[in-house]
Amino acid sequence: MAAQIWGSEKRARRRREISAKIAQMPELHDSKPLPFMTREEKIMESARKLTILTEKMGQIIDPTDPAELYHLNNEVLGLEGNPMALHGVMFIPALSAQASDEQQAKWLPRALRREIIGTYAQTELGHGTNLQNLETTATYDLATQEFVLHTPQITALKWWPGNLGKSSNYAVVVAHMIIKAKNYGPHPFMVQLRDEKTHEPLPGITIGDIGPKMAYNIVDNGFLGFNKYRIPRTNLLMRHTKVEADGTYIKPPHAKINYSAMVHVRAYMLTGQAIMLASALNIATRYSSVRRQGQIDKSQPEVKVLEYQTQQHRLFPSIARAYAFQFAGAETVKLYEHVLKEMKSGNVSLMADLHALTSGLKSVVTYQTGEGIEQARMACGGHGYSMASYISEIYGVAIGGCTYEGENMVMLLQLARYLVKSAALVKSGQSSKLGPLVAYLGVKSEPTSLIDRIPNSGFTEYVKTFQHVSKRQTLKAADMFFGLMEKGEKREIAWNKCSVELNRASRLHTRLFIVEAFVRRVNEIADIRIKEALTDLLHLHVNYELLDIASYALEDGFLSASQLDYIRDQVYLYLGKIRPNAVSLLDSWEFSDIELRSVLGRRDGNVYENLFKWAKSSPLNKTDVLSSVTQYLKPMMEKARL
Ligand SMILES: CCCCCCCC/C=C\CCCCCCCCCC(=O)SCCNC(=O)CCNC(=O)[C@H](O)C(C)(C)COP(=O)(O)OP(=O)(O)OC[C@H]1O[C@@H](n2cnc3c(N)ncnc32)[C@H](O)[C@@H]1OP(=O)(O)O
Ligand SMILES: Cc1cc2nc3c(=O)[nH]c(=O)nc-3n(C[C@H](O)[C@H](O)[C@H](O)COP(=O)(O)OP(=O)(O)OC[C@H]3O[C@@H](n4cnc5c(N)ncnc54)[C@H](O)[C@@H]3O)c2cc1C
């Protein structure tokens, strides 16, 4: 199963080897539990491990393999981030995709050797989503052949970029490029921020940390201001766009090609989210198979809480989602790598499809991951609320994904643009022009769903039902939009008035893609036992998801009430079937105790001993009487007794 999850036997084996090596290297372990550290201590601890990794990485992993790097990162540095998180996730990808060959030769080897630390500075205090209204300017000075970076007012301060505050000395900065008083829109520039020897900010740069966040606090998200700060013309990233010495602007082959670093993260973060969801579920499911509370049959002893149907219903559909996200994520990364290769050689024809797909997936996956992690936390009762479970930290990090790389509502609306264009093709009889991901919009569906009507139809009728509801909602939302415009509404106003319906269409389309990716994967599996276990999980997935969106299929009578009863019964049937495999389905992800960082979810299952040991090690327990008591509470009580 691990091979299915991680993509191959070899990958699963390598993960085990890497975990085993790390287990033997105490210098790479947390020196004490992270929840007992201050933010400063955590940052220090992370930097300590990071430097050891820079020295020893080659002994543990193949540093050119992103999957091995990611695993090493999760084990050693953990999901709370590290001082170079953005260096790998965005700075290097931005240089790789947007710098010219000559620029790459100058900067990439230095970045890869970690001679310099970089980040991606785009968002500002006043604008994140609406890139067209960023305020930082890069004005070309023809006389010196330099760009002058400037922050005209407080809202133009860069705000949020990870590791910008204290760790990075370089950044890819996105600023509006102005040449001879003409604004060419946001463009990426390579900018040195700090002196390479002293790490002091360079003159003209104001920089710092934005303060503690809901989670992800090892990362020093930062602010940055420029006071007429000059950089050479050749620091504009020039793979696709060029500015010649005389100020001539050469436009890129696609207007949004400079957004590629964002698409990179959107494509890769899906598996990151799947891992966080599976981690939280692993903790909760292990704990639920140890925790005994109450009886189902009063004549019998207390049961493991995992025997309760409500507990299974809380956890198992999310187990199915974690697998589904992992499989959909693997497909998306493949597509991304293909499009990136094409893009580098000038073929931009697939960019729109990739953008639409990743925008939808990013939104649905992060939202459902957050839901699943929070349910996992509640499924642990009181102990879920303790940092000993570590689930609240996992939640805090994962839920950030709903916001970063494009706020979810906004990204769903990006997919909706693509769906509305596709709907227009269908309506004008040009269905043959539809891309493969939306081809179903042009296919006539049966008048009613055939779920429960055709024996041994596998998952086909489920997929057709998802296609039907997605198509119907897309066409309905598009009709509403076109209708408003026909009535004379301005395009943008009409769009806003339909945006809730449009986003519903985007979610349904994305959920269909996720279901199809799961079906495709199960169909490919040769090993009969693995296929059987995943088929059970897929049954739960399609029935649970369909029940969740049933109102869309009921409103036009595509599904009947009796079919809905059947679907509901199937959910209950598969909850029971999955119960014996539940812990194994999560243990198959092979997270080590070091990586999970959860006292509650340790592999040994000694929950109570571990919790008591952990509580005793709390810094508050170093002394029996705290100074808060001697200084305030004791005098208060004494005064009251007089
Ligand atoms: C095995 C390895 C695993 C590695 C895993 C790593 C994963 C790590 C996981 C977890 C760890 C946590 C790590 C945390 C890192 C945090 C990093 C966070 C970094 C950031 O947040 S950076 C800042 C991100 N900011 C945004 O995303 C801003 C969002 N806004 C936008 O993207 C745009 O403004 C917009 C897309 C919303 C609108 O752009 P705009 O220019 O105004 O364009 P429109 O007018 O709306 O559209 C015009 C037209 O363009 C099309 N289009 C837009 N974008 C693209 C694109 N990227 N590609 C192609 N086409 C695009 C759009 O669809 C329109 O087309 P149309 O006119 O409809 O045809
Ligand atoms: C953990 C974390 C890490 C980050 N790292 C980085 C980084 O490394 N580099 C970087 O540059 N940035 C980074 N960011 C910033 C992040 O990319 C932005 O916060 C994000 O893009 C959302 O933009 P915003 O904050 O402007 O939200 P806003 O756009 O102000 O969103 C507020 C609300 O307005 C709604 N809204 C906005 N526009 C529209 C619209 N057109 N239609 C409908 N509704 C709309 C949104 O849906 C939302 O409900 C990070 C953020 C976080 C939380």
3-state secondary structure 402-442: HCCCCCHHHHHHHHHHHHHHHHHHHHCCCHHHCCHHHHHHH
Q: At CA 510, angle to CA 506 and CA 511, rounded to 5? A: 120
Q: Given this model, what pLDDT does residue 458 score?
A: 87
Rounded CA separation 448/561 (Å): 12
Q: In angstroms, what is the span from residue 485 Cα to ligand 1's centroid?
A: 27
Q: How do 170-179 and 137-141 pair as beta strands?
A: parallel
Q: 300-322: b or e for each residue (b if 16 or more CB lie within 10 Å)? A: eeebebbbbeebbebbbbbbbbb
Annotated binding site: 123, 162
The helix-helix angle for 309-344 and 499-524 (nearest 10°) equals: 90
Supply the residue whose CA is at minimum distance from atom 24 of ligand 2. Answer: 128
**Residue whose C-alpha is closest to residue 296's, from 309, 283, 287:** 309
Annotated binding site for FAD: 123, 162
Q: Which ligand is nearest to the CA of 358?
A: 1
Q: What does each C-alpha distance from 424 to 281, 371, 435, 481, 619 come to in angstroms?
A: 42, 34, 13, 11, 63
Q: What is the mean pLDDT of each run of 10 residues along the chain (642 residues)?
A: 98 98 97 96 98 96 94 97 97 96 98 97 98 98 98 98 98 98 98 98 98 98 98 97 98 92 96 98 98 96 97 98 98 95 88 96 98 98 98 98 98 98 97 96 94 90 97 98 98 98 98 98 97 98 98 97 97 98 98 97 96 96 97 98 94
Q: Given this model, what pLDDT does residue 203 score?
A: 98
Q: Which ligand is nearest to the CA of 326?
A: 1
Return the best residue to mutate from 404, 405, 496, 497 for the ligand 2 pocket (most ligand atoms within 8 A of CB).
404
Q: Can you tell me whether residue 59 is helix, strand or coil?
A: helix
Ligand 2 neighbourhood includes 162 CB (under 6 angstroms): yes
Rounded CA separation 284/392 (Å): 12
Quickly list DSSP for 319-334.
HHHHHHHHHHHHHHHH
Rounded CA separation 282/322 (Å): 11
The architecture in CATH of the region 116-252 reads: Beta Barrel (2.40)
Return the best residue to mutate from 131, 332, 340, 502 for the ligand 1 pocket (most ligand atoms within 8 A of CB).
131
- Contact, 67 vs 11, CB < 8 A? yes
Encoded amino acid at 150, one letter: H
Supply the residue whose CA is at minimum distance from atom 44 of ligand 1. Answer: 414
Pocket of ligand 1 (CB under 6 A): 66-67, 70, 89-90, 120, 122-123, 128-132, 162, 256, 259, 262-263, 265, 268-269, 271-272, 351-352, 355, 404-406, 410, 414, 417
Supply the residue whose CA is at minimum distance from atom 58 of ligand 1. Answer: 355
Beta bridge partners of 230: 148
**Ligand 2 atom with least separation from CA of 90:** 8
Rounded CA separation 358/269 (Å): 10
Cβ-proximal residues to 507 (8 Å cutoff; 6+ apart), any chain: 360, 363, 364, 412
Q: In angstroms, what is the span from residue 402 Cα to ligand 2's centroid?
A: 9
Supply the residue whose CA is at minimum distance from atom 24 of ligand 1. Answer: 405
Rounded CA separation 582/497 (Å): 44
Rounded CA separation 84/170 (Å): 12
ipTM: 0.97
- Backbone φ and ψ for 182, nearest 5 degrees, come out as -105, 130
**Ligand 1 atom with least separation from CA of 130:** 34
Rounded CA separation 376/282 (Å): 9
Q: Can you tell me whether residue 137 is helix, strand or coil?
A: strand
- Beta-carbon neighbour count of residue 492 at 10 Å? 8
Q: Given this model, what pLDDT does residue 456 score?
A: 83
Q: In angstroms, what is the span from residue 477 Cα to ligand 2's centroid?
A: 25
Quickly list DSSP for 192-259.
E-B-TTT-PBPTTEEEEE----SS-TTS--EEEEESSEEEEGGGB--SS-EE-TT--EE--SSTTGGG
CATH code reported for the domain at 2-82: 1.10.540.10
Q: What does each C-alpha distance from 124 to 128, 132, 151, 221 come to in angstroms?
A: 6, 12, 10, 12
Tell me where in the chain the CATH 1.10.540.10 domain(s) lie. 2-82
**Ligand 2 atom with least separation from CA of 406:** 21
For residue 301, give the DSSP letter.
P
> Structure tokens of 583?
């812990």
CATH code reported for the domain at 259-425+467-585: 1.20.140.10
Q: Given this model, what pLDDT does residue 56 score?
A: 96
Q: In angstroms, what is the span from residue 406 Cα to ligand 2's centroid?
A: 6
**Ligand 2 atom with least separation from CA of 123:** 11
**Ligand 1 atom with least separation from CA of 407:** 29
Ligand 2 neighbourhood includes 128 CB (under 6 angstroms): yes
Q: Given this model, what pLDDT does residue 100 score?
A: 96
Q: Which helix (H) or strand (E) holds 381?
A: helix 381-385
Q: How do 229-232 and 249-250 pair as beta strands?
A: unpaired
Active site residues: 405
Q: At CA 285, angle to CA 299 and CA 311, rounded to 5? A: 55
Return the best residue to mutate from 210, 407, 506 for the ligand 2 pocket (most ligand atoms within 8 A of CB).
407
- Contact, 601 vs 284, CB < 8 A? yes
Q: In angstroms, what is the span from residue 310 Cα to ligand 2's centroid?
A: 36
Q: In angstroms, what is the span from residue 317 Cα to ligand 1's centroid?
A: 29
Q: In angstroms, what is the span from residue 405 Cα to ligand 1's centroid?
A: 6
Supply the residue whose CA is at minimum distance from atom 9 of ligand 2. Answer: 161
Rounded CA separation 499/415 (Å): 11
Tell me where in the chain the CATH 1.20.140.10 domain(s) lie. 259-425+467-585
Tell me where in the chain the CATH 2.40.110.10 domain(s) lie. 116-252
For tokens 């890139």, what's the residue?
131
Ligand 2 neighbourhood includes 409 CB (under 6 angstroms): yes
**Helix and strand element counts for the chain (H, E):** 24, 11
Q: Which ligand is nearest to the CA of 74?
A: 1
Beta bridge partners of 138: 149, 177
Q: What does each C-alpha distance from 349 to 345, 356, 638 come to in angstroms?
A: 12, 13, 78
**Residue whose C-alpha is closest to residue 309's, from 593, 463, 638, 540:** 540
pTM over 0.90? The answer is yes
**Residue whose C-alpha is closest to residue 329's, from 375, 276, 391:** 276
Q: Can you tell me whether residue 587 is helix, strand or coil?
A: helix
Rounded CA separation 211/40 (Å): 11
Q: Which ligand is nearest to the CA of 124?
A: 2
Ligand 2 neighbourhood includes 165 CB (under 6 angstroms): no
Ligand 2 neighbourhood includes 407 CB (under 6 angstroms): yes
> Structure tokens of 629?
């008591």
Q: In angstroms, what is the span from residue 70 Cα to ligand 1's centroid?
A: 22
Rounded CA separation 511/365 (Å): 9
Supply the residue whose CA is at minimum distance from atom 33 of ligand 2. Answer: 407
Supply the residue whose CA is at minimum distance from atom 39 of ligand 1. Answer: 131
Ligand 2 neighbourhood includes 350 CB (under 6 angstroms): no
Q: Which ligand is nearest to the CA of 127?
A: 2
**Residue whose C-alpha is closest to residue 586's, from 199, 193, 284, 310:** 284
